[in-house]
Amino acid sequence: EDQVTQSPEALRLQEGESSSLNCSYTVSGLRGLFWYRQDPGKGPEFLFTLYSAGEEKEKERLKATLTKKESFLHITAPKPEDSATYLCAAHSGGAQKLVFGQGTRLTINP
Which residues form the interface with another protein (CB under 8 A)? Answer: 4, 31-32, 34, 36, 41-46, 49, 51, 87, 89, 91, 96-98, 100-103
Q: How far apart are CB 48 and another protein at their closest, in Å?
A: 9
**Are the C-beta atoms of residues 93 and 34 closer than 8 Å to each other?**
no
**Are the C-beta atoms of residues 92 and 31 closer than 8 Å to each other?**
yes
State the Cα–Cα distance between residues 103 and 51, nearest whole angstrom: 20
Q: How far apart are CB 54 and another protein at their closest, in Å?
A: 17
Q: How far apart are CB 25 and another protein at their closest, in Å?
A: 13
